[in-house]
Amino acid sequence: MKYTLTELGDGITKIEMDFADEGVVLECETVVAGGSAEGQAYVPVFERDMRANFRHLFPLPEPEAAEGGEE
């Protein structure tokens, strides 16, 4: 995931987030009140929400092989 923060002025910061580096076509965008610090603080929250809302776009994790193997 990659993101950029852009201060728009008037105390607003835009967050642009892109999951293309993970092979997922999903671009997200939001704005937060405050500067880069507030934007940076909100990035992990926004990322979790986007991954949850668009979970169908992300590949399922590989199931771990059960220990013990076949009898």
Partner 1 sequence: MMAQKQYPRSIPVGVVDPVSGDIIPLKLSPSGSLMVDLSEIETVQLNIPPGQEIPVTVGNAEAIPTKFLTPQEVKNAAGNPVDVNVANTDPIPVEFGSAPDVVIPGGVAVTNFPSGFEVSNFPSPLTDDVVAVAPVVGEKTITQTAAALFAGSSALANRQLMRVRNLSLDQQVLVGPSTVAGTGFPVEPGGEYLFKFNKAVAVPVYAISPGAAAKVRVMEA
Name which of 20 and 45 has its Cβ closer to partner 1. 45
Site for partner 1 in 20-59 (CB under 8 A): 26-34, 38, 41-42, 45-46, 48-50, 52-54
Name which of 16 and 68 has its Cβ closer to partner 1. 16
Other CB atoms within a 10 A radius of the CB of residue 12 amount to 15
Exposure string of 29-62, with b = 16+ CB inside 10 Å and e = fewer, is ebebeeeeeebeebbeebbeebbeeeeeeeeeee
Which residues here bind partner 1, judged by CB under 8 A?
A: 10-12, 26-34, 38, 41-42, 45-46, 48-50, 52-54
